Amino acid sequence: MTDPNPATIAIESLTFHYREGHFHLHIPTLEIDAGAKAAMIGPSGSGKTTLIHLLAGIVPADSGRITVHGTPLHQLNDADRRRFRIANIGFVFQDFALLDYLTILDNMLYPYRINRALNLTPQVREHAIRLATMMGIEDKLKRHPHHLSQGEKQRAAFAGPW
């Protein structure tokens, strides 16, 4: 019988190591329920970013099970993990990953321009503008990243992967 309220993130017996180097990650069990708040805290090199990459399906685990929103990532091939990531995961990179030659609005819409699986519609564009308004950067949409403060860049990056 399946659990009617499965954890949003569930990990069982996860192991991962990089082919080169001495880093090994082992997580016996982890469950994070929908709506729960969780923080990853640890020193540099302890595996925080690696865990995020595993949960997003960027890298596959060596062994164990990873389930995100009911999808068993450990059973997906590279192409299926990529499709899952496009449909379900948004990233805000530490360096904001904004392209200087694009305006803020174009940066927000960039994934729709480079990925055929995403359909750039007028509704998507309107949604991006609404998000920018909510983030207080609606007056910055026609500017390029080098004209924004660090805080404005951060808000633009956060509004982008919706």
Query: Quick one: pLDDT at residue 94?
Result: 67
The sign of the dihedral angle between the CA atoms of 125, 126, 131, 135 is positive
- On whether the CB atoms of residues 74 and 66 are closer than 8 A, the answer is yes
* pTM for this prediction: 0.63
DSSP H helices in the chain: 48-55, 78-88, 104-114, 122-134, 150-159
List pLDDT tens digits, range 27-44. Answer: 999 999 988 989 999 888
Which amino acid is present at 154?
Q
Whole-number average pLDDT of the chain: 88
